[in-house]
Homo-oligomer: A and B are copies of this chain.
Amino acid sequence: MILALAGGVGGAKLAFGLTKALSPEDLIIAVNTGDDFDHLGLRICPDIDTVLYTLGKMANTETGWGQANETWNFMEALKAIGGETWFQLGDRDLATHVERTRRLQAGELLSVITADFADRFGINHPIVPATDEPMPTIVNTPDGDLSFQDYFVRLQCAPTVTGFEFGGAAAAKPSSAISKAFESGQIEAVVICPSNPYVSIAPILAVPAISDFIYNSGTPVIVVSPIVGGQAIKGPAAKMMKELGALPSALSIAHHYQDIANTVVIDTTDSDFTAPIQELGLEVLVTNTIMNTAEEKTRLADDILTFARHRSRMVKLQHKTQ
């Protein structure tokens, strides 16, 4: 079984590829919930929805969020009555938020609701929130703390970041499908998808039982670099790296994850970093990591899984905690 850690767009793309390469019993996709927030009285879970919509083949590939064939009459009408319009909600997308909020308020777990939605979207592989408890990401800036969506959407990532906090993380428990996978002893590798290391992956790793597993179980950890040619494919990862004092590069990603990773997957563009990353004691897989088509997603997943199978024995021997 593979445990994939995923944020939004990049994570969803590789998760899609992994579903093509693995049976539903052999994959569990743990999704970041640090971006989740309450807006207009609705509970909005951007990364879960991006993964749901991507795997359900209904994602809006133009925007990178929301549903395809979307309409915006709700937003237009909301503007007309003076409502807040800085966070765009499509008419179809809204159904997800309204129904999820209703079910959460009725006492259902986010993981149960997410599993039901996945089932409705024809998705067979388990998509699970990292945790069922709210764990909002806080963005530290020189001018004070910001809630994640204030930073990310309202302020368009303009403020300089100095750090991040994950409120409630210390007490958070993994959602039950993740705990069961840990207990099963069946997880053969952890794949960290090409998502933002600070605001997509770090919140997942901030759940104590998840980082305990990753640090202490000896399971190989394969990180796919979200930085290609010094740029983030999407989102503020490169900008954040600079602001935190690192040169945006696949090598910096390797440095960031060197305490937990066994393997770093980098794009062919970045093949010059192979030796420097190996010098950190990490395996390197060089391949095409850009995933524009379904075929590219599946091929990257296949490459990663093939590499993981071939190297698993050696990787285990090299694991940091052994």
Q: Which residues of A pack against B, CB within 8 Å?
A: 40-42, 67, 70-71, 73-78, 80-83, 90-96, 98-99, 101-102, 105, 116-117, 120-121
Complex Cα gap A90–B80 (Å): 15
Q: CA A95 – CA B75 in complex, angstroms?
A: 7
CA distance A81 to B73 in the complex (A): 20
On whether the beta carbons of B120 and A95 are closer than 8 Å, the reply is no
Given contacts A41-B102, A96-B81, A105-B41, contact A91 B71 (CB under 8 A): yes
In the assembled complex, the CB of A191 is this many whole angstroms from the nearest CB of chain B, namely: 28
Which of B41, B83, B92, B105 is close to A77, meaning CB atoms less than 8 Å apart?
B92
Nearest-CB residue, chain B, relative to A73: B91
Q: Is the interface of A mostly helix, strand, loop or mixed?
A: helix
Selected contact of A76 from candidates B40, B41, B75, B92, CB within 8 Å? B92
Copies of this chain: 2
Residue from A73, A83, A99, A105 whose CB has the most chain B CB atoms within 10 Å = A73
Known: A67-B77, A81-B95, A83-B95. 4 other contacts (CB 8 A): A42-B98, A73-B90, A73-B91, A80-B95
What's the nearest-Cβ distance from chain B to residue A122, in Å?
10
What are 19 of the A-B contact pairs (CB < 8 Å)? A40-B99, A41-B41, A70-B73, A73-B73, A73-B91, A74-B94, A76-B92, A76-B95, A77-B91, A77-B93, A78-B99, A80-B95, A81-B96, A81-B116, A81-B117, A82-B99, A83-B99, A83-B102, A98-B98
- How far is A91 from B90 in the complex, measured between Cα atoms in Å? 9
Min CB gap A65→B, angstroms:
15
Closest chain B residue, CB of each to CB of A89: B98
| B71 near A102: Cβ-Cβ < 8 Å | no
Q: Are B73 and A40 neighbours in the complex by a CB distance under 8 Å?
A: no
**A82, closest chain B residue (CB):** B120
Which residue on chain B has the smallest CB distance to residue A42?
Answer: B98
Report whether B74 and A74 are in contact in the complex, using a CB–CB cutoff of 8 Å.
Answer: yes
Closest chain B residue to A120 by CB distance? B81
